[in-house]
Structure 1
Amino acid sequence: MSHPAGIGSVKPVNWAYDRAPMIIYWELTTACGLACRHCRATAQPDPAPGELTTDEALGVLDEFAGFGSPAPHVIFTGGDPMRRGDLDQLIAAANQRGLGVSLAPAVTPLLSAQRLKDLKALDVQAISLSLDGSTAAHHDGIRQVPGTFDATMQALADANAAGVPVQINTLVTDETAKDLDDVYELLKNYDVMQWSLFFLISVGRGSQLRELTPGDAERTLIKWGKIGRTSPFRIKTTEAMQYRRINAQAMMHAGKTREDVENSPAARGFGIRDGNGIVFISHLGEVMPSGFLPLSVGNVKDRSIVELYRDTELMRQLRRPEEFKGRCGVCEFDRWCGGSRARAYAWTGDPLASDPLCPYVPEKMREHDLSVA
């Protein structure tokens, strides 16, 4: 899940999150009742040995104070965070420490209408639900559990009734892209805070599916960027940072200056990417730039999350886009976009390489007739 609308604001021109991340994704458990084809966590029915205990988790929450103000927003995810017996205690503890909390639950019988009311009472700021198709045939084919589509739509209706803001996440692959129009039309019937188009990263079970080609991805992003200007809910992307470049280009073509773009509402997402505004804590306490960039920089059992985010070399490198390689390293949109570091790593083994999903040729390469390989 990405950060809920309203969290964060337009940032300075350097778009660097050196002091603190905006969002901490915390995988409380890998236990889950589903077996989705694209699961990053390769979730399983039962909790894995070695998951952080309640006391260890509370200690980590204490350390978040070291980031200073404003504090990061915490998103409890999994697996299914609803499978943690201490979830309510951890939500309450985060709130007591001044941390905003959102939740990314799996749609199982644990996510009942009453449970959503309870989450609202616990001051959970938002939840995310995954909807990967406009029909049961499409969605359940991805989720691998019959009835999940109907349960997801019921959970969305129940969340609306409980007053819990909802982000919908939809997987974008060569298989699901053609169904996005129908998903959009379906969502217009509900109260949706934002719709996040998650462009597949081939990690975990996601390696079973196929990503869009760069050309198809570009056309898809251009299309939804246009629709997003009049949509009843915000449309954003996950692991398709070039969406920011595409929207910025559209604004500039309409006569806006770079300063206008930087001060527009669209700029609130600029610069945020793995390790720069985002950090991930695994169920075992390993700290990574994101769940889709599985390179550990250390463990919260051994070092402060503040140190691991601020001071480890990989994290520092991910906050220096001018040192990225290939096209991403010379792109004039580097600080606004920066490319998917997770996809670069998944394809090349190098998190600083160019994002292979982006076909854009930077001005410097065009001016000097340099190779775009």
Structure 2
Amino acid sequence: MASVAPAPRPNCGRLRDLATNPMVVAWEVTRACGYACRHCRADAQPRPMIGELDHDEAMDLVCALGRFEGTTLVLTGGDPLLRADLVEIAQAARGHGLRVALTPSATARVTPGRLRELTDAGVDRLAISIDGATPEAHDAMRGRRGSFERSLRILGWAREAGFSTQMNTTITRFSAGDLDRMAELVRGLDADMWSAFFLVPVGRAPRTDMLDADGHEVALHRLAEISEHVPFRVKVTEAPQYRRILMQTGRADNMPPAVNGGRGFMFISHDGHISPSGFLPLGAGDVRRDDPVEVYRMSPVFRDVRDTAQLQGKCGVCEFRSMCGGSRARAYALTGDALAEDPTCAYRPTGWH
């Protein structure tokens, strides 16, 4: 799953109640995808899986999500373009007051004409994943030659069609040393945002590709430096230590909202299961029987991951826990406990002995 950031709103993370209204709901409209990427969270398959929400269930879902205020609905996958009723879903979501974003796979299904159809349906942001600064690096991650060049073309077409554009990059031990060249690629694409996803070992993503604690720290410091000198926004996913680093280095003006899985973010799977994020597969509800708005606001799973007072180990005593809190997804993936300390944080809190 790739996420799309909401449009910038001044101080939005400070003014809105993230326990009531998420900034982003990511809905995996299908798990079908023609790619078999090395790091795929969804472990996507070539064909739709049994249990995928049908059209009527999809319409009911977007109606329910429309009760949130100021929320962006990200239509993701798999490859959302393999969903036959995608345009109708987007139109319905816009009609219910949701902002709509899309994260398609870079396939021949994405054409200038298809993009115009999607903008007419109300989709206003498009994100494409590019995981290397060269065709060789990216195509190796995607498992398909030509994917890099196709991804560049799609982002160019999206700009021409009027989309706000975003480039997503999975940060691994292979890509972390190439951040400067990746930033120049984003600049050359005239994208509005670069979203850096720090790998969590779920789905097909191997633990051996993940950065260690020191590697996370080095990469996050470099992203903080890059953020000061580029015309696009830099967003970080599953490395909330970025906010601590911005504060420590006098870059608080660049501080993004304190959004983590379950706090400002909700994930809905292809078959309707609700969790704090796609990287944190803790079952909190099912849209076929539960109200997703109430699940987000009242579910013990969501309330627990939002409550930094419950964090354990270093995270529990850290002076930055309210703005950071560590990656709950990585803690869960590596320890089996979503409230454990984040094993990939190198920081030693002042209260830790």
Fold agreement, TM-score > 0.5:
yes
Aligned counterparts of 1:50 and 1:299: Cα–Cα separation in 2: 12
| CA shift in 2, pair 1:80/1:280, >3 Å | same
Post-superposition offset of 1:12 = 3.6
Matched residue of 2:126: which SS?
A: strand
The equivalences for 1:56-67 within 5 A come to 56-67=57-68
Which string of whole-angstrom CA distances, capped at 9 and with x for unpartnered residues, describes residues 231-285 of structure 1? 1211121111101110011117xxxxxxxx4xx4x34x33210111100000000
Q: Rate the CA distance shift 1:88–1:7 in 2: closer, same or farther, 3 A.
A: farther
Q: In the alignment, is the contact (CA less than 8 A) between 1:271 and 1:338 conserved in 2?
A: no
1:299 corresponds to which letter in structure 2?
A: D
Deviation digits for residues 185-227 of structure 1 (CA, Å, limit 9, x no counterpart): 2222121111011110000011265211111210111112011
- 2:134 maps to 135
What is the TM-score of this pair, normalised by structure 2?
0.95
Q: Helix, strand or coil: the match of 2:141?
A: helix
Residue 82 of structure 1 deviates from its aligned partner by 0.5
- Counterpart Cα distance in 1 of 2:40 and 2:208: 11
- 1:79-137 deviation per Cα after TM superposition (whole angstroms, max 9, x unaligned): 01100000000000001111100001111011112111222222212011000111111
Pick aligned residue for 2:299 from 312, 320, 327: 312
* Residue equivalent to 2:327: 340
Per-residue deviation at 1:180? 2.3
Structure 2 CA distance, aligned partners of 1:101 and 1:162? 15
Contact 1:56 1:301 in 2 (8 A): yes
Aligned-partner residue type, residue 38 of structure 2: R
Q: Is the 1:221–1:246 contact (alpha carbons within 8 Å) kept by the matching residues of 2?
A: yes
Hey, what does 1:217 align to over in structure 2? 216
Once the two structures are TM-superposed, the CA of residue 16 in structure 1 deviates from its matched residue by 5.5
Kindly state the Cα deviation for residue 141 of structure 1 after the two structures are TM-superposed.
Answer: 0.2
- Greater CA radius of gyration, 1 or 2? 1
Tell me, yes or no, if the aligned pair for 2:133 and 2:182 is still in contact at 8 Å.
Answer: yes
Aligned residue in 2 for 1:36: 37
**Map of 2:194 onto structure 1:** 195
Shift of 1:19: 1.0
Q: Which residue of structure 2 aligns with residue 50 of structure 1?
A: 51
| TM-score normalized by the length of structure 1 | 0.90
What SS class does the counterpart of residue 206 from structure 1 fall into?
coil
Gaps of 5+ in 1: 253-260
2:293 matches 1:295: no
Distance 1:204 1:168 in 2: 21
- Backbone CA RMSD of aligned residues: 1.6
* Residue number in structure 2 paired with 1:172: 171
Please give the secondary structure, in 2, of the residue aligned with 1:90.
helix
2: CA distance, partners of 1:173 / 1:249 = 24
Write the letter of the residue equivalent to 1:23. Answer: V
SS at match of 2:201: coil
Distance 1:55 1:290 in 2: 24
Q: Does 1:282 align with 2:269?
A: yes
